[in-house]
Amino acid sequence: MRPLWLTASTMTNALGRGRAATLAALEARRTGLAPCDFLDVDLDTWVGRVAGLEDLPVIDALDDYDCRNNRLAQLALRQDGFEAAVAAARSRYGADRVAVIMGTSTSGILHTELAFRERDPETGALPAPLHYRETHELSSVAEFTRRYLGLTGPTLSISTACSSSAKVFASAWRLIETGLCDAAVVGGVDSLCLTTLYGFASLELVAPGPCRPADAERDGISIGEAAGFALLERPDARSERGLNPPVEGERPTTALLGYGESVDAHHMSTPHPEGLGARLAMQAALERAGLAPSAIDYINLHGTASRTNDSAEDKAVSQLFGHSVPCSSTKGWTGHTLGAAGITEALIASLCIEHGLIPGSLNTETVDPDFTSAIQRDNRHQPVHYVLSNSFGFGGNNASLVFGRIAAADEVSA
């Protein structure tokens, strides 16, 4: 497939605000997880909470959208010069030619959860105005992002649980390829809420301590919150419009080379035990990228630290890549950010390519002896040209993405 440049990107999560904060934490092997101190939640677990959101309301012009999820989106949009990069794209192509595609699993559901605590004791009425459409409804974060950035192109939300913000890359490629837009802002935002914390606890899926992906004694996930965005463009989009190409220093480092999607059709919340759907997604991503499995330098695993998910993914990776391609999960740093996991780990993949970093799984002490993939426990530094990033959601919604260094990507597409 024709590559897409990641012209600009930004992310905010429990490791801090902006790409540099995440890179510094990865290099220092410093987790963003801490014992749960979110609201009055009474659970013995650790979470990846973004500090300070309570004091950062959205701008006055969009105050109907004010909720934790949109505050997190706004905080991320203000990092790494992302607003300026989108403004430049808007000038190049026109506001109606830049799409917004967002992934989320629960959107601003916390806003409604808290409203239920304030119901009228006599009538049961919820406080008014609730602004459900602007806060809780799944498209609210996409509409907030579109309006905040002053765009009028195609706008949509994708909610396929934990693969949501990986699938946004596939949808962006299709929109651009069919000529419905020239560029796309893709991203994902998911914030902490009572539904996910108590819901995953009721499924006995949350760990009492920080998660330990691929560990022999792994005992569940650590839930986190995050927001991330990327601006995608075709390399030749500017020349087709008679515009100058990026000058030295503006040329991005990373490109999206391939994507793969599949569904398990196996179980509501458990992956196919042999990782069949996961393998199909990874295989499709490699085929679109025109790469053999041996070309991949690093695999960022979905790696939630649940016993069944990690086991199924290990089987799928081993079947397709053998036993020597380095792989790890970064959820020990950020927690499982659910609908924002895909974009968070896609942008970690781009950091790995830019800085020649292969992060070892944090908190993993003893790799499960039944695993046969090349799980990395310690950080490594080496040239990284191609990275595959996995995101697998409830219901067997799978998405895999291949990213590459642009010089290497040019060779593939030639």
- Position 408 scores a pLDDT of 55
Q: How many CA atoms lie within 13 A of 26 on its CB side?
A: 29
In this structure, is residue 276 part of a structural domain? yes
State the total domains in the chain: 1
Whether 368 and 308 have beta carbons less than 8 Å apart is answered as no
- Position 142 scores a pLDDT of 98
What residues does 374 pair with on adjacent strands? Answer: 326
| 413 or 298, which is more confident | 298
| DSSP line for 277-316 | HHHHHHHHHHHHHT--GGG--EEE------HHHHHHHHHH
- Position 187 scores a pLDDT of 98
* Number of other residues whose CB lies within 10 A of the CB of residue 343: 34
**Which residue among 162, 181, 327, 352 is the active-site one?**
162
**Which residue among 111, 272, 336, 385 is the active-site one?**
336
Which pTM was predicted?
0.95
pLDDT tens digits, one per residue of 354-374: 999 999 999 999 999 999 999
Known active-site residue 272: no
Q: How confident is the model at residue 265 (pLDDT cuts 50, 70, 90)?
A: confident
- Position 248 scores a pLDDT of 67
Q: How many CA atoms lie within 13 A of 53 on its CB side?
A: 27
Spatial separation of the C-alpha atoms in residues 277 and 396, rounded to whole Å: 7
Spatial separation of the C-alpha atoms in residues 241 and 412, rounded to whole Å: 24
- 89, two tokens: 């794209």
- Position 395 scores a pLDDT of 82
Spatial separation of the C-alpha atoms in residues 153 and 330, rounded to whole Å: 33
Spatial separation of the C-alpha atoms in residues 354 and 82, rounded to whole Å: 18
Whether 221 and 306 have beta carbons less than 8 Å apart is answered as yes
Whether 157 and 92 have beta carbons less than 8 Å apart is answered as no
Beta strands 183-190 and 226-233, pairing class: antiparallel
- Tell whether the model's pLDDT for residue 413 goes beyond 70: no
- 127, two tokens: 């406080």
Locate tokens 């292969």: which residue? 358
Instruction: Kindly state the percentage of the chain with pLDDT values over 70.
Output: 98
- Position 83 scores a pLDDT of 97
In terms of C-beta density within 10 A (0-12 exposed, 13-18 middle, 19 or more buried), how is residue 236 classed? exposed
- 339, two tokens: 């609908």
Residue 240 — left, alpha, or beta (φ > 0 → left; ψ -120 to 50 → alpha)?
alpha
In this structure, is residue 339 part of a structural domain? yes
pLDDT tens digits, one per residue of 34-91: 999 999 999 999 999 999 999 999 999 999 999 999 999 999 999 999 999 999 999 9
- Position 270 scores a pLDDT of 83
Where in the sequence is the domain holding 8, given as residue range(s)?
4-407
**Which residue among 67, 302, 352, 385 is the active-site one?**
302
pLDDT tens digits, one per residue of 194-225: 999 999 999 999 999 999 999 999 999 999 99
Locate tokens 């992310």: which residue? 11
Spatial separation of the C-alpha atoms in residues 387 and 402, rounded to whole Å: 6
In CATH, what number is assigned to the domain containing residue 100?
Answer: 3.40.47.10
Spatial separation of the C-alpha atoms in residues 115 and 163, rounded to whole Å: 28
pLDDT tens digits, one per residue of 83-117: 999 999 999 999 999 999 999 999 999 999 999 99
Contacts of residue 248, Cβ cutoff 8 Å, sequence gap at least 6: none
Known active-site residue 336: yes
User: Residue 16 phi/psi, 5° resolution?
Assistant: 135, -175
Known active-site residue 323: no
Q: Helix (H, G, I), strand (E, B), or coil: what is residue 241?
A: coil
In terms of C-beta density within 10 A (0-12 exposed, 13-18 middle, 19 or more buried), how is residue 217 classed? exposed
In this structure, is residue 412 part of a structural domain? no
pLDDT tens digits, one per residue of 101-160: 999 999 999 999 999 999 999 999 999 989 999 999 999 999 999 999 999 999 999 999
Q: What is the mean pLDDT of residues 287-315?
A: 97
